[in-house]
Chains A and B, each alone.
Chain A
Amino acid sequence: MPSAKVEEQLLKEIGLKDVEELFTDVPRSVRADLDLAPSMSEMEVKATVEGILGKNRHFGSCPSFLGAGIYPHYVPSEVKFVLWRNEFLTSYTPYQPEVSQGFLQAMFEYQSMICELYSMDVANISMYDGVSACGEAALMAARSSDGDTYLVPKNLSWEKKSTIENYLKGTGIRVEEYAYDGKTGQADLADLERKMTSKVTGVFMENPNFFGCFESKADTVKPIVSAKNPDALFVVGANPMSLGIAKGPGAYGADVVVGEGQVFGQGMNFGGPVLGILAATGELARRMPGRIVGETKDATGQRAFCLTLQTREQHIRREKATSNICTNEGMNALAAASYLAVVGGNGLRKVSEINASRAKRLSKAIGAIPGFKAPLFKGHHFNEFVVQSKASVAKVQRLLLERGLHGGLDLSKRFPELGNASLWAVTEMHAEATLETLVSTLKEVRA
């Protein structure tokens, strides 16, 4: 900030003596001081914050096997350098396209790559996170047909379920669960078919699902949905990293897709900021939430980009907008785009294969240990699987933490029907030695 001397000059030029004269319209009775510690030097701030963060056990010092929507993945150095370009980092929403072509083009490319991966026609340039994207997709379904119910799988994270309920709060639509098959961990399609009525506005399915299982019958769901309500939306959530080896949900009938893009070139960030992905078929473009970039021309006929279809948005349509989202996760979308640009189609396929291969091997290795059942659900997994143990999950976790490892997510409270169950994720980031320590430690666990 400019110095006190500058302050004096500014005041003088507009004929004031004290800056207080600019606050005479603030009534005395509402004046309030700010009771915070005095200012600090940059060096002190750095030391203070790093001191507090020092109490953390981060992935490098204590590798975890946690997933459930957020995963440790390698971030190529190029991505970090792109994100630190100040011209991107310190810019605002590109309302002035003439000076924002860089960000706009990067977002157009992001949309194109997301559409390619998910087999969709149109993607927006991000939602707050994969969880709120689920909520916005449910709102799209609410706008697509009359009804009173939105169906979600029983094996869904409770955070997603609560968020979807909150996004549907104003519509009066209730959220109902359909069961999963206790043997395969996949959707119980017979139950889904029973619950699918003409009053259902949409069906949500995850593939891979919360238990890490690929839904092998995902390609039979759309006809089940359409048979009862032709306007109901089939919404699919998919970890985009799995799409290096698995088909985009658009290829099996999804109308809207959502995902958590944190896996592409970004840290876990203690859960945020992360990246909500949302894409849809072309006919739903005008019902989508969020910002969309379109290609156009400038006054000289040169190719240019700008925000488009803005009549859906809150700053124009106010209470009739498709969503209230304004600020999104632009930098996270840029991270994802530059990640895809540096890994390329070949790299994405490779890292996708590595993740699935590792889950296959690790689940087998854990399953071979007495007292453990893994993967609890047979069939195909991406990079995550459920483990059932004789010992309590808490006991297993304690022993691992003593060895500098953090186990999977305890499912026993949210899914009591699975017994001592936990959800484990493995990625390209886990060193071979870490996996060996894990297996040898688990062998010591006694029920």
Chain B
Amino acid sequence: MSPGEVREAPRGHRQALWDEPLLFEYKDEGEGFRFPDERIEPDLVPANLRRDAVAIPNLTKLQMMRHYVRLSQKNFGVDSGVYLLGSCTMKYNPKLNEELAVHPAASDMHPYLSEDACQGSLEVLYRLQEALKKVSGMDAVSLQPAAGAQGEYTGVLIARKYHETRGDERDEIILPDSAHGTNFSSAAMAGFKVIEIPSTKEGTVDVDALKQALGPRTAAFMITNPSTLGIFEDKILEVAKAVHAAGALLYYDGANLNAIMGITSPGAMGFDIVHINTHKTLSTPHGGGGPGAGPVGVKAHLKDFLPVPMIVKRGETYHLDYDLAHTIGKVRGFYGNFGILLRAYAYILANGGDGLTRISKMAVLNSNYMKEKLKGTFELPGKPLRKHEFVLSARKLRDEKGIRALDIAKRLLDYGYHAPTIYFPHIVEEAIMIEPTEAETKDDLDRVIETLKTIAAEDPELVRTAPHNTAVARVDEVGAARTPILRWSPAAQVETVFPRRGGPKDGPPAPR
């Protein structure tokens, strides 16, 4: 099969079906990029370390460009269609922010420039710190962490050092069973024992179980509010009081902040530490997995524990402050993901306090609208009132028709929608977690609702074998883990021929 040859497309396909070979399978027909001619000195490397060859193919620019454009056409982003991924909050990324991030005065800046040469970058970071203090209701914010999970780790290290400094031996962190997986691993990485408590039937924190678990060993209780079920913890003040009375800290997982901006804040709810996942709330793109940013906010008593440097303003100029009494030090190089933080700052500027509040309201309205329309088709465990996301259960469909949450997710791909999050949180059987975000129109929400209802009524066999209309059919993930092929190598060239897929299948008609 030669590059670019087209397979016969099944009816109703949703993605380009290029049989795009690996870069390494192209014939080496280019010459390599042309750098300016320059004298090359002899003897550049110690003889025992000298490299003979670099086995990376030399493509022409046209070959290279076609390769990546074809690959992009086999990839689904928010700009391709509705992205229902609950808990991951995939909303529209304003394009101006992309332009600003590649402005030479943003991207061509070395982090070790003297302070007077980078006043602009420092000012952006300072202004963002100040804005995030207000969004989170905290007294100080560090922009260092590169992602939510790193923010969590930073927060947990702060909690650890705080207790150590006070001479407290606290080695346990309490988590509800509905928590994000990163909470558990961040706590464990920092050397804490994880104590899991159950949620109530309504999907909120079991306050009695929490009170029983709290004790002199408790360093912190970590939760997100709204919870991963999209339910607001209405007993949050009681929770805060109990945690503080036990001498522990209350940690806010900022994954679900998109639902409460301008309504309440972690600070107002009594939290001591918070991290914010910028892509979820402040619309920084997620780029197939990153980069992200995970700013950490703390109340005044924890300010001196933040990683260094902090950005400070003295008079009219901005500075890097390394002088924090109890700083935990560094969790990564330099000052965080500036390019992402700049996008977040532009987003806050564009929306302002009024806009961010409206975003929360619309995100919650869209979510409740979809939930109301779908709760007859699927089960809705827990309290009825939801925030920015809701979790349905496909248990009934599984029992009656043999269709699982996974099948429904895959079938949605056929209709041109990204699947929701499934099997999370673990406390819901056959969980389907939907987050429409504030960015979608009613028209699109209605189409998705109709599609989900259609799928629930479809021939189970058609659903179980989905997807049919994507670049590849259902992928064998179990096989991938059983015999891992993790890199191309000339020796282990297993399969370079693309078997043709069959002719037209019984795909659904295009919904538009």
Contacts and interface: CB of A to CB of B under 8 A. Distances in A.
A417 interface: no
Contacts of B73: 87, 102
Interface in A90-128: 90-103, 105-109, 111-113, 115-117, 121-123, 125-126, 128
A32 B265 contact: yes
Nearest to B144: A272
A280 to B, nearest CB: 10
A55 B49 contact: no
Interface residues on B, range: 35 or more
B338 A270 contact: yes
Given A108-B488, A132-B146, A6 B442 contact: yes
A214 B45 contact: yes
B212 interface: no
A179 interface: no
A83 to B, nearest CB: 8
B471 A53 contact: no
A2 B442 CA distance: 8
Classify the interface of chain B: helix, strand, loop or mixed: loop
Interface stretch (B295-303, B328-336, B394-402, B454-462): B328-336
Given A100-B76, A334-B287, A25 B470 contact: no
Interface in B381-402: 383, 385, 387
A272 B338 contact: yes
Interface residues on A, range: 35 or more
Nearest to B106: A53
Contact of A304 (B55, B72, B186, B475): B475
Interface in A131-180: 131-132, 135, 139, 157, 159-160, 162-163, 165-167, 169-172
Contacts of A331: 285, 287-288, 290-291
Given A57-B113, A342-B33, A214 B46 contact: yes
Contacts of A353: 40, 44
A244 B51 contact: yes
A299 B74 CA distance: 17
B486 A285 contact: yes
A310 interface: yes
A338 B68 contact: yes
B94 A42 contact: yes
Interface in B184-203: 184-192, 194
A66 B334 CA distance: 13
B203 to A, nearest CB: 12
Contacts of A317: 181, 185
A105 B109 contact: no
B111 A295 contact: no
B41 A360 contact: yes
Contact of A323 (B65, B74, B185, B285): B185
Nearest to A356: B44
A194 interface: no
A12 B140 CA distance: 41
A30 to B, nearest CB: 5
A26 B279 CA distance: 24
A103 B74 CA distance: 8
A10 B385 CA distance: 15
Between A117, A269, A318, the greatest number of chain B beta carbons within 10 A of the residue's beta carbon is seen for A269
Given A106-B68, A344-B56, A380-B45, A59 B495 contact: no
Between B75, B80, B111, B336, the greatest number of chain A beta carbons within 10 A of the residue's beta carbon is seen for B75
A326 B148 CA distance: 8
Interface stretch (A245-253, A365-373, A438-446): A245-253
B288 A330 contact: yes
Contacts of B131: 36
Interface in A68-91: 68-70, 72, 74, 76, 78, 80-82, 84-91
Interface stretch (A43-51, A196-204, A384-392): A43-51
B192 to A, nearest CB: 7
Given A93-B286, A95-B85, 16 more contacts: A1-B359, A27-B237, A46-B99, A52-B120, A68-B112, A82-B68, A102-B471, A169-B160, A294-B480, A296-B475, A299-B473, A299-B474, A318-B181, A323-B189, A327-B292, A380-B45
